[in-house]
Amino acid sequence: MMRLGLGLGLGRSQTAISTGVVPIARLSANARIIAVGDSNTQYGASLSGSTLAYSNLSDLPVLASLAGNYNEDIFAEAWGTVPGWQGSNYGVAGESMIGINPRLTDALRYAPDAMYIAGGTNDGADNSAGGISIANNYITKAQEARAAGVKYVVIRAIPPVAGAQFSTNRHQGRLSFLATVNAFAAANPTWCRVADIYTPNIQATGEAVAGYLQADGLHFTEFGCFLNSQIVKAVFDSITVPGATNLPANLTANNQIANGGTLPGSGGTKTGVTGSLPDGWNAVRTGTSAVVASLVANADTGGQTVQFDVTPAAGSGNDSVAISPIANLALTAGNWYQAWTEIEVTNGGRISLVHPGTDAGGNTTFSSQAGISYYTKQFLRTPPFKATGASKPAINLVIPQGGAAFVARIKRVFVVPVVSPYTTWGVTTPPVNIVAPSVSIPGARAVGSVVTINPGTWTGVLGGSQQQKRYRAALYRDGVFVSNIDFSGVNGAGAYLAGSYTLVAADVGKSLRFDVSAANQAENRSAAISASLGGDITAPVLQSAAASANTNTIVLTYDEVLKSPAPSISAFTLANTGGTDTITGVAVSGRTIVITKSRSTQTGDTMTLDYAVPGANPIADLAGNNAAAIVAQSILISDVLMRLQSLGAQMVETVNGSGYNYNSSATGFSGTGYGVSNKKLPSGQDGYLGVKKATSSLVAIMFKSTQVAGSYNSGVLGAYSTAANGAYSAAGAGSTVTNATNSAAGDEIRLRRAGSSAFFEVRRAAGGAWITVFTWATVTTADLWLNVYCGTTAAQNAQLPYGSPNVI
């Protein structure tokens, strides 16, 4: 008998629990029963030492429906006790009626014969009034189910609580709930039942009996699940007909595994397992536990039982053995099958039966579980599955490390063809889109960033965490298909869950399109609706951070145009050794962020800037890619743009951003196409004066000792070119040629003073190296201004006169 160990003396034979009234008519054979509820409905007890995703022990004696499959595990000690119904568990952890309500509507689309409504724990039945209110809500749902064609509705009592979860008020709330639903069931005896798991499982105080709940005082132990299943199974047995006693014969006649029901021969293959396996079978052990296979006579089948004697290895994890028919089973891709096995496990081992097919969303992770101490002998069967190719069912034996030795037996195995379950649901219309899908990237776009795929809103898509992979996004990169991304539907509260895709290097600079479709429970998939992500997934990169002397702005220059509005002032932190310097404004201008501050920048200042990416209005490009944070960025005190004054009659000025361009109508060097800078290089200081761009020849620059404009060579020293692409020439005594250089359109040219020497320098790429063309050994240390002369046509222009940061 069972090892209850809690002094309650309840054995397996005690299943004839009174259910009150007898229905007028029982449900037909193989009736469909769906359970909706919360965590105790979804997966019941928590099983430590198991590698399975869920414990799948609910108070309804079927396993949880993982990932959209509809498991039909049967707790039976003999073939003759198979119930005459199929169970599908639609419970979702943490849900109250708010979450159960929309899923109940979805569940009705399965056209169930009976519905088991099992919630209440999360609804707040904390006093008598609350219990009555919640009961009336559940009664309303029962009436809706009945109106939709459900033949029987079973309302489960709210489970007991214990420990810190218990209070006298909660006890009264649960009693009031139970009294209210009992009265309703008594008034509707032909279609409503109550599964009272409350009163048999509480102490005199109202607190749950010892051993019924886990330490949290809310969730069932294995023992609690066992107690509940006796009560619930009795209710369902009262409204269903017994299972077919000729089931083994029917399965044997249709078995797709050659002689699988009798497991003949001893020629199977093994890895890490010793002993003998039936012909055509393979067993692969993972881990170091000792596993010995043997074949013993099976009186029921006239064949053999495969027995595994297991001695677990030390440790705290799990080893396993995967057992599968490798040579005697061939399935037809696209056809529907169901796998069955009769097993027995003792003393702590666990067995799962894993189907090799796919559900409507392509899921292949389903498994049903056995080996629970209160049900050592079990029938496992998978939901109907659609074969996908050469893969085959597997029986997975889980070995808890550090546990006691145990024995597992596989008595017979079947894979039989079945009709697609979808044909019985009467659901043929694909989902219909109401709100279009969309895609977005929260945060910076770069390799490793995650794209959020919002499926939009659809009718006809089942919700709940049991309904996985109902949505599919077909990813196209520049119009070429890449892969399908399957993801879930809606959560228990009705909120749509999003899919995701992580960007890879191949996505950079490409257009990504996601064609989103939805499927209903009958695998009817809608036409796809496209949602696109632009080709730019590269974040803008900071190129420079500069300030000009005698100004109160800092300019951050990026490698692409930025979007408005600008971040708030609070996103930036400025430190300045020169004195108090407070940020007063931030603006976006093309590729730059212009920061206004309280202090005018001095040449001796040292500044650093930090930028934290804000939640609103971060620095980003036009595609929405966020720039990275800035940490202790040094601010370069940069060139100072100047303006020419005392312009000759033939000199023309135009605005260029924050500076100015100049050209003239002078003919050669004899005209009046000149001007002198409005700022000077101060006496005794090193520095430079020049123009950012000379478009061609006949542009002359000269150091002048007075702020008086004049001809091309009216100054202390300088240089010019007399023909397009001609050689630069020096003006002023004492020059030497350092690097003879021809002029070129776009040259940046300057005159630089260093101590008592002067230099004429040319640069041909922004940020590139300077070429020293001429050197003067002696130059005045007095104040110097820049004289600029443009000769001949308007095309001969000088753009953006400037000086070093110390000009004034």
Q: What is the pLDDT at residue 14?
A: 31
Q: What is the pLDDT at residue 670?
A: 82
Q: What is the pLDDT of residues 604-646, one digit of tens each?
A: 788 999 999 998 899 988 877 888 899 999 888 878 889 999 9
> Are 801 and 680 within 8 A, CB to CB?
no
Q: What is the pLDDT at residue 567?
A: 95
Q: What is the pLDDT at residue 522?
A: 61
Q: What is the pLDDT at residue 149?
A: 81
Q: Which long-range contacts (CB under 8 A, 24 or more apart) does 434-439 make?
A: 434/458, 434/459, 436/529, 436/531, 437/473, 437/514, 437/516, 437/529, 437/531, 438/531, 439/512, 439/514, 439/531, 439/532, 439/533
Q: What is the pLDDT at residue 766?
A: 66
Query: Which helix (H) or strand (E) segment is 471 a member of?
Result: strand 471-477
According to the per-residue pLDDT averaged within each range, which of 210-219, 358-367, 384-393, 426-435 is highest?
210-219
Q: What is the pLDDT of residues 495-552, one digit of tens each?
A: 456 788 998 888 876 778 899 998 765 667 889 998 887 666 678 889 888 887 778 8
Q: 793 or 578, which is more confident?
A: 578
Q: Residue 339's pLDDT band (boundaries 50, 70, 90)?
A: confident
Average pLDDT, the chain: 79
Decide if pLDDT at 554 tops 60: yes
At 268, give phi and psi (nearest 5°).
-70, 165
Q: 276 or 95, which is more confident?
A: 276
Burial of 258 (C-beta count, 10 Å sphere; 0-12/13-18/19+): middle
Q: What is the pLDDT of residues 220-230, one digit of tens each?
A: 776 787 778 77
Q: What is the pLDDT at residue 478?
A: 81
> Are 295 and 266 within 8 A, CB to CB?
yes
- The average pLDDT across 693-721 equals 88
Q: Considering the chain, what percentage of its residues have pLDDT values greater than 70?
A: 76
Q: What is the pLDDT at residue 2?
A: 26
User: Helix/strand/coil (H, E, C) string of 480-504?
Assistant: EEEEEEEECCECCCCCECCEEEECC
Q: What is the pLDDT of residues 68-122, one digit of tens each?
A: 222 233 333 233 344 556 566 566 666 677 667 766 765 675 567 888 888 888 8
Q: Residue 466's pLDDT band (boundaries 50, 70, 90)?
A: very low
- Calculate the alpha carbon distances from 418 to 64, 166, 382, 387, 406 in Å: 21, 48, 12, 11, 35
Q: What is the pLDDT at residue 176?
A: 96
Decide if pLDDT at 681 tops 90: yes
3-class secondary-structure state, position 104: helix
Q: 381 or 113, which is more confident?
A: 113
Tell me how far apart the alpha carbons of residues 567 and 196 are, in angstroms, rounded to a whole number.
61
DSSP code for 146: H
Q: Residue 277's pLDDT band (boundaries 50, 70, 90)?
A: very high
Q: Residue 355's pLDDT band (boundaries 50, 70, 90)?
A: low
Q: Residue 274's pLDDT band (boundaries 50, 70, 90)?
A: very high
Q: What is the pLDDT of residues 753-782, one digit of tens each?
A: 999 999 999 988 766 789 999 999 999 999
Q: What is the pLDDT at residue 165?
A: 93
Q: Considering the chain, what percentage of its residues have pLDDT values greater than 90?
A: 33
Q: 691 or 460, which is more confident?
A: 691
Decide if pLDDT at 65 tops 50: no
Cis status, amide bond into 384, omega within 30 of 0: no
Q: Residue 326's pLDDT band (boundaries 50, 70, 90)?
A: confident
* 612 contacts: CB under 8 Å, gap ≥ 6: 571, 573, 629
> Are 667 and 790 within 8 A, CB to CB?
no
Q: What is the pLDDT at residue 313?
A: 95
- The average pLDDT across 681-693 equals 91
Q: What is the pLDDT at residue 60?
A: 31
Q: Residue 317's pLDDT band (boundaries 50, 70, 90)?
A: confident
